Amino acid sequence: MKLMEFRSSELLAKQGIQVPKGVVISEPGKLEEMNGPVVIKAQVPVGGRGKAGGVKFASSLEEARKNAGTILGMEIKGHKVRSVLVAEKLDIAKELYLSCMVDREAGMPLLIASAEGGMDIESVPEEKIFKTHINPLIGLQGYQLRDMLSALKLPKEQAGQVSDIAKKVYACMLAEDAELVEINPLAITPKGQLVAGDAKVVIDDDSMFRHPEHKGVEEDLTPLEKEAKEKGISFVQLDGDIGVIANGAGLTMATLDALGTMGGKGGTFLDLGGTDDPEKVKQAFTILKKANPKVILMNIFGGITRCDTVAQGVHDVIMKEGVNCKVVARIKGWYEEKAREILKEAGLISAATMEEAAKLATKISKEA
């Protein structure tokens, strides 16, 4: 779960990292005073807001209110801007980059730092980026910080501060169960102070049981994805016209790929998981129908889950609530013959293999 900038900054400040002073407002009129130039930034759970016009500067209260009003009326990548952060405009002499992320291959946090931070960090050559893994059993060690400082070639006055911030970034990662804590830029002011110019914190969704404070945070989801998430259904909306439902994330992906090889395009990724609970099946089909596909492609491999019980659930939903398009089903595994009979009764088109199902669904989607 990606937190918005102001929440991310708050978490850094909690560790004692200096962040720009600012307020979050949802109406321009709520901005009451300012001491010097400010930057106004849209608070949305997606990147690229600068390019979308969601970041503006102002040097008077009047101008700040006007710009805040403009940004608050915007929509950025499908997200209505509901709040803006109005923060002191930093005087920046130099921009560094500092982050700590979960390196899944190493199975350890990775501390990343560069003396060339800012907008173009991703095109900074590899040799100018310092990386070190932190063993979670012993934590960040002094030698790693010394290595970082010698790689960054910082003047003495800032070296101590950067070390201190690196430790706090790791502490923040642990305290918040974060997958990522990123400061870019880590600004050095002309007076030699270090301030986190922008912050990005991504919280591990699986840690929510011990972080109730993050519940209900606005996420980068479509309304239908949000509805599915609330119902505990693993669902992603895609830009094709074939509604794909399968059991297991890998199999769902493989089904979408099979469509791709046939020239079809998936409009949904719906992973039913290992359930045959009729209520869950019903909810899944309700979500699918709302995505308005031209055809539904269902691919079930029953290993632990019985095919016939899944089929019965699908049968009942279709008989009772109807479905506004054709449904191609490929069902394989435990009790598959019985499952096929049940699905036939509900008027589903049966396919023997995944490829055949993908081919049929693609054909129907092009005719519809």
Which residues are part of the catalytic machinery?
97, 182
Residue-wise DSSP of 71-85: HHT-EETTEE---EE
- In contact, 259 and 244? CB cutoff 8 Å: yes
Rounded to a whole number of angstroms, the minimum distance from the CB of residue 261 to other proteins is: 6
Is residue 236 within the footprint of other proteins (CB under 8 A)?
yes
User: Rounded to whole angstroms, how far apart are CA atoms 329 and 352?
Assistant: 9
User: What is the token pair recorded at 83?
Assistant: 């709040």
The angle at the Cα of 192, spanning 190 to 197, to the nearest 5 degrees, equals 80
Residue whose CB is less far from other proteins, 23 or 101:
101
Interface residues for other proteins in 336-365 (CB under 8 A)?
Answer: 353-355
Alpha helices in 39-183 (DSSP H): 61-72, 142-152, 156-176
Which is it for strands 295-302 and 38-42: parallel, antiparallel or unpaired? unpaired
Beta bridge partners of 178: 203
Rounded to a whole number of angstroms, the minimum distance from the CB of residue 44 to other proteins is: 14
User: What is the token pair recorded at 359?
Assistant: 């081919």
- In contact, 64 and 86? CB cutoff 8 Å: yes
Is residue 37 within the footprint of other proteins (CB under 8 A)?
no
Residue whose CB is less far from other proteins, 32 or 239:
239
Q: Write the CB contacts of 233 (distance below 8 Å, at least 6 apart in sequence).
A: 270, 271, 280, 283, 284, 287
Among 52, 110, 151, 325, binds other proteins (CB under 8 A): 110
Among 3, 76, 246, 298, binds other proteins (CB under 8 A): 246
User: What is the token pair recorded at 181?
Assistant: 């804590």
Q: Which of 44, 5, 18, 7 is nearest to 176 (CA)?
A: 7
Give the DSSP letter of residue 216.
T
Q: Which range binds other proteins by CB under 8 A, 54-62, 76-84, 299-307, 308-316?
A: 299-307
Interface residues for other proteins in 250-269 (CB under 8 A)?
Answer: 250-251, 253-254, 256-261, 265-266, 269
Q: Which helix (H) or strand (E) segment is 199 a member of?
A: strand 199-203
Residue whose CB is less far from other proteins, 61 or 217:
217
Rounded to a whole number of angstroms, the minimum distance from the CB of residue 136 to other proteins is: 5
Interface residues for other proteins in 162-201 (CB under 8 A)?
Answer: 174, 177, 179-180, 182, 184, 200
Which residue type sits at 131? K
Among 61, 93, 217, 249, binds other proteins (CB under 8 A): 249
CA separation (Å) from 352 to 51, 106, 236?
49, 41, 26
Rounded to a whole number of angstroms, the minimum distance from the CB of residue 117 to other proteins is: 9
Is residue 207 within the footprint of other proteins (CB under 8 A)?
yes
Among 33, 137, 216, 367, binds other proteins (CB under 8 A): 137
User: Total residues contacting other proteins (rule CB under 8 A)?
Assistant: 65
Among 135, 150, 222, 292, binds other proteins (CB under 8 A): 135
Rounded to a whole number of angstroms, the minimum distance from the CB of residue 284 to other proteins is: 15
Among 9, 83, 163, 247, binds other proteins (CB under 8 A): 247
User: Rounded to whole angstroms, how far apart are CA atoms 115 and 128?
Assistant: 7
Residue whose CB is less far from other proteins, 26 or 135:
135
Among 122, 127, 230, 367, binds other proteins (CB under 8 A): 122
Is residue 9 within the footprint of other proteins (CB under 8 A)?
no
Q: Write the CB contacts of 338 (distance below 8 Å, at least 6 apart in sequence).
A: 307, 308, 311
Is residue 108 within the footprint of other proteins (CB under 8 A)?
yes
Q: Write the CB contacts of 275 (distance below 8 Å, at least 6 apart in sequence).
A: 247, 281, 305
Binding site for other proteins (CB under 8 A): 2, 47, 97, 99, 101-105, 107-110, 112, 121-122, 126, 129, 131, 135-137, 174, 177, 179-180, 182, 184, 200, 202, 204, 206-207, 209-210, 220, 236, 238, 246-251, 253-254, 256-261, 265-266, 269, 274, 301, 303-304, 332-334, 353-355
